[in-house]
Structure 1
Amino acid sequence: MVMPIPVFDHKELLTLNTQELPIYENALAPHFPGVNVQPLFLDPSAGTWALRVIFDPGVTLPCHYHTGTVHLFTLSGKWNYVEYPNQPQTAGSYLFEPGGSVHTFSVPADNTEPTDTVMVVQGANINFDADGNYVNLMDASSIMQIIDHLVKERGLEPAKYIRPAQAEYTV
């Protein structure tokens, strides 16, 4: 067997150190205060997004529907879905969510520390209010726009995250 030829010219690894990147506090306010975001990978073409998200104690997100799968790792703290109160997710937990899942993310108000997570999401979250009315859609494109707006509004350096190249013709 012959060694394959790389499709892309990789000059260096695409790697980020979360200890060296800013965390955008209250990044999703005013809709979702207490949600602190560190973008890691945003690919609007494939609909994939990876974020480190740190939730303050007492944060409850709106009920949401996932159009695709989610891989969620809990690094510290504790959270649960309102619909599954007897299955709290704690430090070291990994959760897989199939597309079509509907639930309400909640961090207990009595948590003694923020809840630190890493999520890899395919597709979008469609968010609804308590009455079942549409609030908004979150996907890789909207998160890019939110982060870009926040950076400009706060006078910060441009966010550093991995973003695959835009599709183009070969010639």
Structure 2
Amino acid sequence: MFFENIDTAAINDEDLPWVPFAPYSDEVFIKYLKCDPIRGETITLLKAPAGTVLPKHHHSGTVIVYTIKGGWKYLEHDWISRQGGVVFETAGSSHTPVALPEYGDEIITLNITQGDLLYFDEDDNLVAIENWKSGVQRYLAFCEANDVEPRDITSFAV
């Protein structure tokens, strides 16, 4: 197949459900736009209430985060990403995300994540690995439990 034969596709985020980011949090939600098994990449929206501290995680690949709403930072850094901000995270970096209440009641970010996110507890023990495959599993389980017709989130041809 040649790239000229691949049709352009559009995904409307309102056509996809917000999925709880369980077991980590019942207040944090992920909207899976694409989980790419070829490139090992996920494209997601993340929504969290202000004041939320997410688990520390380590990146095996790069991550690009665009802040749509609110403000957030990593405990390990001094910068703050506010609405319209873009953060580039290098492979091999570790962070603890915090949604900052002084920038509104919630944060919403667009995340393009390559590779695995390794989650650690407070003693730096590995407790979970998140990637495109776990995203598909979480999405399909949510759809089944809530009688939602699943879409093929591994393809842009939805």
With structure 2 as the length reference, what TM-score do the two structures score? 0.89
C-alpha deviation, 1:36, in angstroms: 1.3
Aligned match for 1:144, one of 124, 136, 139: 136
Deviating beyond 6 angstroms after TM superposition, the runs of 4 or more aligned structure 1 residues are none
Q: Which residue of 1 aligns with 2:67?
A: 74
Q: State the Cα RMSD in Å.
A: 2.1
Kindly provide the CA deviation profile for residues 60-107 of structure 1, in whole angstroms up to 9, marking residues without a partner as x.
Answer: 1111110000011001101110111x3111001001011001110111
Q: Are 1:157 and 2:149 matched, yes or no?
A: yes
Rg larger for = 1
- Residue 120 in 1 paired to residue 115 in 2? no
Equivalence for 2:47 = 54
Partners of 2:90 and 2:126 in 1: CA distance: 21
1:23 aligns with 2:17: yes
- Please name the residue that 1:9 is paired with: 5
2:84 maps to: 92
Residue 76 (structure 2) aligned to one of 72, 75, 83 = 83
Q: Which amino acid aligns with 2:5?
A: D
CA distance 1:6–1:44, change in 2 (3 Å):
closer
Q: Secondary structure at the match of 1:149?
A: helix
Matched letter for residue 57 of structure 1: A
Aligned residues: 157
- The unaligned stretches of length 5 or more in structure 2 are none
> Higher mean Cα deviation, 105-114 or 119-128?
105-114
Does the Cα contact within 8 Å between 2:60 and 2:114 map onto a contact in 1?
yes
Kindly indicate whether the alpha-carbon contact (under 8 Å) linking 1:66 and 1:102 is maintained by their aligned counterparts in 2: yes
Match of residue 96 from structure 2: 104
Structure having the higher strand fraction is 2
Bigger helix fraction: 2
- The one-character-per-residue Cα deviations of 1:1-35 (angstroms, maximum 9, x if unpaired) are xxxx934633x4221122x323324x212322321
Do 1:72 and 1:95's aligned partners in 2 also have CA atoms closer than 8 Å?
Answer: yes
Cα contact 2:56–2:97 (8 A) shared by 1: yes
TM-score of the two chains, using structure 1 as the length reference? 0.83
Stretch of structure 1 that moved more, 74-83 or 43-52: 43-52
Long gaps (5+) in structure 1? 166-171
